[in-house]
Amino acid sequence: MITSKIIANGILRAIAILVFTALSFYFLYLIQSVLIYLVVALILTLIGNPILDFFKKKLKFKHTLATIATVSIFIMLIAGFILMFIPLITSQGENLSLLKSAEIERNITQLKTQTFTFLENHNIDTSRMMKEANLASKINLNFIPNFLNSILGTISSFGIGLASVLFITFFFLKDRLMFIIGAKKIIPDTHEEKILNSAHKINHLLSRYFIGLLLQLFIVFILYIIVLFIFDIPNLFIIAFLCAVLNIVPYIGPLIASILAAILTMLSNLGSDFQTIILPTTIYVLIGFWIVQIIDNNLSQPLIFSKSVSSHPLEIFLVILIAGFLSGILGMIIAVPLYTILKVIGKEFFPENKVIQLFTKNI
């Protein structure tokens, strides 16, 4: 028989669960930076595992020494990227300072004037277009100082984040066996083999995926450099690197990269004749970038990603597309790793399911 005491206890228990859940989410929100450090460190660990194994098996390094060597490679790569940006920061420092925001505005206004002059010479009434669109009231260049201040704030916290990530990565690599032993003690005996097999396969496939991602970005980076070098665009390494990094975001990233390349190409040729130099050079650079994207989308990306996670290229495309509709850009970025994890878990725990068999036959 259900009494008022049982009902009261049930209500109190439900309230306690809701409060605990809310506090847990709030706590995770407060430590979101730490969670980001852990995720980035985990990705570096997945990338570093094959390097660590190479040092141990091929070069006969001790485990700790191999770990130090692996983390040192990460540090050298990061330092190389930072040093690559120093010339750009040095050469553009005055223009990007808060005191020079008016000069940036003048440059943008000059570029706008040249663009409008070109359009009017081809019988396009830009004044009417501007009046109808009412763009003058919508464009506010006062965002530049705020944007630059946010960049400075990001740079100031970057050092702490980088040191934290590398520190966590070192111990993830060094003590991975200890983590496995600890996990065995926590995991129920009935599911221990399946969970450990899943973890091993996920580690293997995601390591291949992130290494494949780096390889794909490197190929795009080199191709972008070639395009920018052909048309003698200044700071080509920086522009190529930024545009290559944007490729992490599938489909949308390359579009943003093309727009960024077009703007930087126009600004780098500022002062030249718009019709004979600025416009043709920008169009040629965009055509070059689109050719790179055709090569990447139809050759390097499907081959690298499909082989690294043992999935069909069409399968990868559809997964990214669906994730984009459901969760936007973030969903597109994490779609392939998450899908790979779900496939591995499905194969281990539901091997008899016909649908899972169809999608996991290559794992």
What pLDDT, on the 0 to 100 scale, is given for residue 2?
63
Give the position of tokens 């100031």. Answer: 156
Q: Please report the pLDDT score of residue 128 as a whole number.
A: 63
Instruction: Look up residue 28 and give its two tokens.
Output: 């995770």
Contact criterion met (CB below 8 Å) for 221 and 197: no
Whole-number pLDDT of residue 136? 47
Q: What is the DSSP letter of 270?
A: T
Question: Would you tell me how many other CB atoms lie within 10 Å of the CB of residue 51?
Answer: 19
| The predicted structure's pLDDT at residue 133 | 53
pLDDT value of position 94: 46
- pLDDT for 223: 93
* Phi, psi (rounded to 5 degrees) for 340: -65, -45
Please tell me the predicted confidence (pLDDT) of residue 144.
Answer: 47
pLDDT in tens, the chain (363 residues): 566 777 778 888 889 899 999 999 999 888 888 888 898 898 889 888 889 988 998 888 999 999 999 999 999 988 877 776 666 555 544 444 443 455 556 666 766 677 777 777 766 666 665 555 554 444 454 544 554 455 555 556 677 788 889 999 999 999 988 887 787 777 777 777 888 888 888 888 888 888 888 888 899 999 999 999 998 888 788 888 888 888 887 777 888 888 888 888 887 776 677 777 888 888 999 999 999 988 887 777 767 777 777 777 778 878 888 888 887 777 887 888 888 888 888 888 888 888 888 888 777
pLDDT of residue 146: 58
**Contact present, 169 and 126 (Cβ < 8 Å):** no
Torsion of CA 182, 185, 186, 189, to 10 degrees: 140
CA distances from 260 to 231, 255, 298 (A): 16, 9, 23
User: What angle, 0 to 180 degrees and rounded to 10, lies between the N-to-C axes of helices 192-230 and 301-308?
Assistant: 170
- In order of 40, 150, 298, the CA distances from 84 in angstroms are 22, 21, 30
Read off the pTM: 0.69
Three-state SS at 60: coil
